Amino acid sequence: MKALIIVDVQNDFLPGGALAVKEGDQIIPIINQIQEKFDFVVATQDWHPEDHGSFAANHSGKEVGEFIILNGVNQILWPTHCVQGSLGAEFHKDLMTEKWKAVFQKGTNPLVDSYSGFFDNNNKGDTGLSKFLKNNGIEEVFVCGLAEDYCVKFTVLDGLSEGFKTHLILDATRAVNIYENDFAKAMIEMKNAGANIVHSTNIE
Ligand code: VGL
Ligand code: ZN
């Protein structure tokens, strides 16, 4: 059976938000249409405490876009975003949520960032998504949402390494593109790892 994974379609990643993805709002009606084709839909939610180590504001003298070592791993610093309980952390109001079986929150440990919906960036913290999908007989996942070059990419890569046949829905994702070409680089990484690229209208 197949599942749809909707990654981080939250106000802070949409135009006007703290870490806005250009054209991020354009994928919302597409994702709503795609949901009609799935019996099994889950979502992920970036869900940081205020003191999260990925926020530039929590490192004096550091700016957004600079790198630090956080708990032994290279960490780019972000604007403060998706703080637990804030409006920015909420899903966009137009996104349909009725069909969702579960929401997997990530980024809750202040000492480690978490891009993938499956595991944190140290590969230790597990959201339980893989087990949840497998327990429900899911073998194939379709990934959409934000941002193509961070949370979507790492969710796709972990989906593959967890053994799921993994598809990226190309017209239902957008990149934050902190650096030029990040979108294209992420596409190559996902394809090289074995991801299949689909257009929403071609999903059966
Ligand atoms: C994301 C940067 C920081 C994402 C989350 O959802 O792609 N990007 N936190
Ligand atoms: Zn985040």
pLDDT tens sequence across 67-116: 999 999 999 999 999 999 999 999 999 999 999 999 999 999 999 999 99
- 61 near 86, Cβ under 8 Å? no
Tokens of 39: 């019996």
CATH value at residue 65: 3.40.50.850
Distance of alpha carbon 182 from its chain centroid, rounded? 15
Calculate how far, in angstroms, residue 149's C-alpha sits from the geometric centre of ligand 1.
Answer: 9
With a pLDDT cut of 90, the percent of the chain lying above it is 99
* Cβ neighbour number for residue 51 with a 10 Å cutoff: 11
Give me the domain span that covers residue 91.
Answer: 2-202
Calculate how far, in angstroms, residue 147's C-alpha sits from the geometric centre of ligand 1.
Answer: 6
- 12 near 88, Cβ under 8 Å? yes
Query: What value of ipTM does the predicted structure carry?
Result: 0.98
**In terms of Cα–Cα distance, which of 128, 141, 155, 130 is closest to 40?**
141
Kindly state if the Cβ of 12 falls inside 6 Å of ligand 1: no
